[in-house]
Structure 1
Amino acid sequence: MFKHEIEERIAELKSDYIQVQGDLDKLEANGGNVDRAEAHLSRIENELSDLKKELRYK
């Protein structure tokens, strides 16, 4: 992956994270099941971490 591709993917993931966090907040406020949203946030966090590490070496 090229540096600009990594940066674009990081931007996409940040946007996704914000959306999922908002959904999670709504679920919590309404007493919904938050397990899937929390798992999704965790996957996004892990991918962001990996991409940031990769970006440091570019």
Structure 2
Amino acid sequence: MPTKDELLYQIAELKSDYIRQQGDIEKLESTGYPELIEKAEQRLSDMEKQLAELNNQLKAYES
């Protein structure tokens, strides 16, 4: 299991990637690439699942 600091770093990095991905989706929406938008939204969903998992691991340190 990663250390608490490693988890915090991974969470921060993932949040940054998530925000970047949201910006990419907005650009794709304005240029009209529905197939790419769908893939990007799936990546967001995957990131959300990963973030939830990391937060659960972090809770183990706080318990």
- Relative to the length of structure 1, the TM-score reads 0.95
Matched, 1:32 2:33: yes
Q: Which has the larger radius of gyration?
A: 2
Q: Structure 1: which 5+ runs fail to align?
A: none
- Equivalent in the alignment of 2:4: 3
Deviation at 1:18, TM superposition (A): 0.6
- Relative to the length of structure 2, the TM-score reads 0.88
Structure 1 counterpart of 2:40, one-letter code: A
Q: Structure 2: which 5+ runs fail to align?
A: none
Deviations 1:1-58 (A, max 9, x none): 1100000000000000010000000101111121110011001100000100110011
CA distance in 1, matches of 2:57, 2:48: 14
- Equivalent in the alignment of 2:19: 18
RMSD: 0.6
Identity of aligned residues (%): 45
Runs of 4+ in 1 over 6 A off after TM superposition: none
Structure 2 counterpart of 1:46, one-letter code: K
CA distance in 1, matches of 2:52, 2:30: 29
